[in-house]
Amino acid sequence: MPLPPGTPDLEALDLLVSVADLGSLGAAARRHGISQPAASMRIRALERRLRLHVLERGPNGSVLTDAGRTVVTHARAVLAAAAALVEGVAEVRNAGASRLRIAASKTIADYRIPHWLAALRSMQPQVSVALEVENSCQVAELVRTGSADLGFVEGPHLPDGLAGRELGSDDLVIVVGAGHPWAKRKRALSLRELAETPLLWRESGSGTRDTLWEVLDDYGVPAAPAAELGSAVAILAAVRAGVAPAVLSRLVAGPDLAAGALHEVPLADATVFSRQFRAVWRPGAPPEGPAELLVDCAARIESSR
C-alpha cells in the first residue's frame, strides 16, 4: 500500500521528539549530531510536509505548539514501531547468518573439520555449526536436496549436479597387520597383484572406495572384497587383526604406522593413490557469509600443509 500524502520523514519526527524531551532545539541538534541551523531547517521541512505549525521559535528558545505536542504523541508510537521493525529484521538476518548446516565425509569430519571449524570460530564465534557425518555419496545428496548448506567430500571427481572447490589432496596407502606376509615383503607390489587380492573395502559411496576402484578397474574387475566395512575405524581394527590388507587414508593409518601396529606396502608402479578434498554446494547458490568463510579457512589450512 502506498504511503499517504504528507507522510513525514522519520528522522524529522525523531528530531521533534528530541526537542520535546530536551526542551530546546539546540539540545536536540546536539543529540542528533547536526548544527542548530540544520535542525531548524529540518523542522521547517517537517512543518511544510505536515502543513502544521509544530514549534514556536522565540528569543528564549523553541516551544512545542499544541499541534506539535499532538504530533509528538503519535511520533513516539511510529518511532517505536520503526525501531521494532529494524530489530526484527536484524534478528532474522543474524539467525540466518549465524547457523550453518554442513555435511562431511567421515575422514574429513574426523581429521579435517575440527581444524577448519576452529579457524572459523576464531573469526566468527557467534556462528553455530550443525555437522552431519556420512560417506561422500550421501553428503552430496544432502547438499542436492538442501538438507545441508555446504558439503565436504573426498574422491576422484566432483559429484554430479554440484558445484565445488578443491581444497587439497589426501594420499591413500596400502596397509597390513604386523603378522601379514606382506609386512616382511621385499618386493614392491604391482597394481595388478593388488587388484587380484581380496581387500578390506569401505562401503559403496565412500570416496576412498571410489578412488581405489577407479585405479584398479584398469586391471580388470577387482577381486571380491574380504569384507566391506562402514568405517575406517572398523577397517583399522580388521587390518590389525590380520583379516586382510586395506587401502586407507594416510591420515587414518598414520598413528598405527608410526607405532608399528601396521605396515605400509609400497607399490612397484610408483603410483600414488590420491583423492581430492572438495567443498560442494548447489549450482547457483555459492557459499556466502560464514559458509564462504569456512571454505576459505579450509583452503588456507590445506594449502599450508
User: pLDDT band for position 94 (50/70/90)?
Assistant: low
Q: What is the DSSP string of the chain?
A: -PPPTTPPPHHHHHHHHHHHHHSSHHHHHHHHTS-HHHHHHHHHHHHHHHTS--EEEETTEEEE-HHHHHHHHHHHHHHHHHHHHHHHHHHHHHHHHHEEEEEEEHHHHHHTHHHHHHHHHHH-TT-EEEEEEE-HHHHHHHHHTTS-SEEEEEESSPPTT-EEEEEEEEEEEEEEETTSGGGG--SPBPHHHHHTS--EEEPTT-HHHHHHHHHHTBTBSPPPPSEEESSHHHHHHHHHTTS--EEEEHHHHHHHHHHTSEEE--BTT---EEEEEEEEE-TT----THHHHHHHHHHHHHHT-
CATH of domain 99-303: 3.40.190.290
Q: Report pLDDT for 271.
A: 65
Q: Of residues 123 and 99, which shows the higher confidence score?
A: 123
User: pLDDT band for position 148 (50/70/90)?
Assistant: very high
96 pLDDT above the threshold of 70? no
Q: Report pLDDT for 87.
A: 84
Of 82, 150, 143, 154, nearest in space to 120 by CA: 150
User: What are the residue ranges of CATH 3.40.190.290 in the chain?
Assistant: 99-303
User: What are the residue ranges of CATH 1.10.10.10 in the chain?
Assistant: 10-96
97 pLDDT above the threshold of 60? no
Assess if CATH 3.30.950.10 describes domain 10-96. no
Mean pLDDT of 151-170: 93
Q: Report pLDDT for 217.
A: 85
Q: Report pLDDT for 259.
A: 94
Tell me the pLDDT tens digit for each residue of 33-92: 999 889 889 999 888 998 999 998 777 777 899 998 999 999 899 889 888 888 888 766
Tell me the pLDDT tens digit for each residue of 226-260: 999 988 899 999 999 999 999 999 999 999 999 99
304 pLDDT above the threshold of 90? no
95 pLDDT above the threshold of 90? no
Please tell me the pTM assigned to this model.
Answer: 0.65
Mean pLDDT of 175-192: 92
Mean pLDDT of the chain: 90
Determine which of 191-205, 207-221, 246-260 has the lowest per-residue pLDDT on average: 207-221
Determine which of 157-171, 202-216, 230-244 has the lowest per-residue pLDDT on average: 202-216
93 pLDDT above the threshold of 70? no
At 19, list the grid cell. Answer: 526537542
